[in-house]
Amino acid sequence: MTTWIIRTDEPGDGPRLAVKDAIDVAELPTTAGCQAVAERAEPAAADAPVVASARAQGARVVGKTNLNELCVAADGVNPWTGTPVNPLDPSRVPGGSSSGSAVAVATGEADVAFGTDTSGSVRIPAACCGIAALKTTNGRVPLDGVYPLSPTLDTVGPMGRDVAAVVLGMSLIEPGFAPVPYDASMTIARLRLGAPGFDIDPAIDAAVDDALRRLGPVTDVTSEYYYDAATANGLYVAEEGWRQNARLVTEPPKMSGRIHRRLQQLHDVVEAGRLGWAARVREAIRAEFDAILARHAAIALPVLPVVTPEPDEDDHSDLLLTSLNGQVNVAGLPAFALPVPLPGSHLPASVQLIGPAGGEERLCGIAASLEAALS
C-alpha cells in the first residue's frame, strides 16, 4: 500500500480526509516518510490545528499518506516506504512531495487530502496525477503540528479531484470559506518566461493558452525576478532544511542515499551564506507580483514545464518539476493548480493560477469558472 503510511477507519459519514504524514494526527506517529524520523517518533499528543478543524467539521481521517523523505524532493519517489503509483500512468512519477495525498484523491480513496507545499509540493503531484490543489498564502493556515522543512516558505493546502473538492478542503480548514465568483472584466495575466532555465515544452504552453482563452481575455506579462526567485527558494530550503534535519545525518544513514546526499548539499549551500540576497529577491518578486495582480485577476503559467516524467537516477526530473513553482512560495502568494487537456497525450497539462495574498477565495472562483469552461 504505497499510497499510505498508516490507514485508519474512523466511523461516521463525513468527508474522507487523507493527511500527509508530515502533519500530526492524534495518537499516530509522524514519520515524514523517513526511517530516521520514524525510529524517533512518538504518537502525536494532539491533532495539528488543520486536522482538528477538519474533524470539528465532521471529516473522517482515513489515513496518513506517503511522501518523499523529509519533504525534500518533488518526484514522489520513496525507496523506504515505496512509491505511490501514478493512476494516470504507472510508468510515470506521482509527483511530490505530497505524493500519497494526490494519489489517494485521484483513485477515490479519499474525498479530500491535506498536503504541504514549500516548493510546489501540492501543485506538482496534482499536476502529475490530474487533480486540483491549492497552495495557500504563507501564514494563512497554521503550521503548528507540521513537520518543518522551511518555515519561511512552508504552507498547508487542500487537494481534491476537482475544484469543489478543494473548496471543501478549505472549508474544513476555515469554516465558512466560499469562492468569490470570477469577475471576467479583469483579465488573466499570462506569465511568459524566456530566460534560460525555463525550457517549457511548446505543447504544454499551447495547452495552457488554449484553456485560458476559453475563460476570457488574457494579457501577456513578464517577470524580472522569476529566475532569481527559484534560486532564492533553494537557499531558504537549504538554510532552514539543514537546520531542521542535520541531526538525522548519521553514519550509516537511515534514509535513502539520494536524500542523504541532498542533505549534505543543503549544508554546502548554507556554508555559502546568501540569505541576505534571497531576502532582497523575496521583496522584489512580491512587489512585482503585487503590481501585476492590482491590474489582473490572476497570473497564469504551467505547473510543469514538461509532461509528467518517468523516474530517473540523477535528479534531473526533480529539478524540472520544481522549476516553475518555488517562486510562488518565495513571494508568499496563493496558487491553484488545475488540470487542462493536452491534445495528443493520455496525460493532462496543468495550469497554475497565482493570486494576491489572502486571495484564495478569488482563485477558487477563477478555477471553478475555468473548470466549467473546459467541461
Report, as residue numbers or ranges, the catalytic residues. Answer: 20, 97, 121
Q: Collapse the DSSP code of 161 into the 3-class scheme (helix H, G, I; strand E, B; otherwise coil) and give the result.
A: coil
Residue 243 CB burial class (10 angstroms; 0-12, 13-18, ≥19): middle
Of 304, 100, 145, 329, nearest to 230 by C-alpha is 329
Of 4, 73, 5, nearest to 259 by C-alpha is 73
Contact in structure between 163 and 367 (CB atoms under 8 Å): yes
Contact in structure between 274 and 228 (CB atoms under 8 Å): no
Q: Which long-range contacts (CB under 8 A, 24 or more apart) does 284-287 make?
A: 284/224, 284/225, 284/228, 285/223, 285/225, 285/226, 285/228, 285/229, 285/232, 285/327, 285/330, 285/331, 286/330, 286/331, 286/332, 286/333
Please, what is the Cα angle at 106 between 27 and 76, to 5 degrees? 70
Strands 218-221 and 60-65, by their bridges, are unpaired
CA gap 182, 90 in Å, rounded: 36
Compute, in degrees rounded to 10, the torsion defined by CA atoms 354, 360, 365, 366.
Answer: 0
Separation of first and last alpha carbons in the chain:
33
CA gap 360, 37 in Å, rounded: 33
CA gap 321, 350 in Å, rounded: 12
Contact in structure between 235 and 275 (CB atoms under 8 Å): yes
Please give the single-letter amino acid code of residue 271.
E
Q: Which three cell numbers stand for residue 374?
A: 473546459
